[in-house]
Homo-oligomer: A and B are copies of this chain.
Amino acid sequence: MTIRYPNGKKFIPVQQTKLPKKSNPTFSNRGKSLEDELNETNEYYLSRQLAVIHKKPVPIQIVNVKYPARSAAVITEAYFKTPSTTDYNGVYNGIHLDFEAKETKNSTSFPLQNIHEHQMTHMKNVCVHGGLSFFIIKFTILDRYFLISYDSFEKYWVRMIEGGRKSVTIAEFEKDAIELKPGFNPRLDFLPALPKLH
């Protein structure tokens, strides 16, 4: 599917090169959303038969649909629903993977308000049933990425519930998470981190 040009660069189709909003065009790939980076990575994994991981569609409450003659059904009224599970799941090496990906513009800590309580419950359930559940957190301004297991993350959630701080600091990620280094292809190679999770 991909064509390599003589300069060694991979051909990237137009729809993937469009600049995302608020990007800094002086740094290649900077400003690409974490979702785009993970989708590219998962496509790479699938094409190399390394893992089968997909992003779930955004949950929508459909209220009205029109069926025009001779053309596709049009949804004319719908609302976003709060997700009750995580964004991504799949299977890797016989292991069920289930993870949430979040980015923050904060450069000192990750605000826990980005996570819903039912997502935490869901991730805990996944662990109980033998799946592997984790977060990938991107600090966009720092251009740093961390992968942290649900088990390691949970104590910060509990700390907040018990009245403590409402975020997880960079230093805490450095201690409890695995830092991922973005690359070219795959963009964000997270599979090698999984066996190191605790």
Q: Write the residues of chain A forming the contact surface with B, with a CB cutoff of 8 angstroms.
A: 46, 49, 51-52, 54, 56-60, 62, 72-81, 84-85, 89-96, 98, 122, 125-126, 128-131
Contacts and interface: CB of A to CB of B under 8 A. Distances in A.
Contact of A125 (B46, B95, B122, B128): B46
Contacts of A131: 52, 91, 94, 96
A76 B77 contact: yes
B89 A89 contact: yes
B79 A74 contact: yes
A116 to B, nearest CB: 15
A81 B60 CA distance: 13
A80 B75 CA distance: 8
Contacts of A73: 79-80
B91 A49 contact: no
A30 to B, nearest CB: 26
A77 to B, nearest CB: 6
Contacts of A125: 46, 49, 52
Which of A57, A95, A129 has the most CB atoms of chain B within a 10 A radius of its CB? A129
Given A52-B126, A90-B96, A94-B130, 4 more contacts: A51-B129, A57-B60, A76-B77, A96-B131
A128 to B, nearest CB: 7
A72 B60 CA distance: 12
A135 to B, nearest CB: 17
Contacts of A76: 76-77
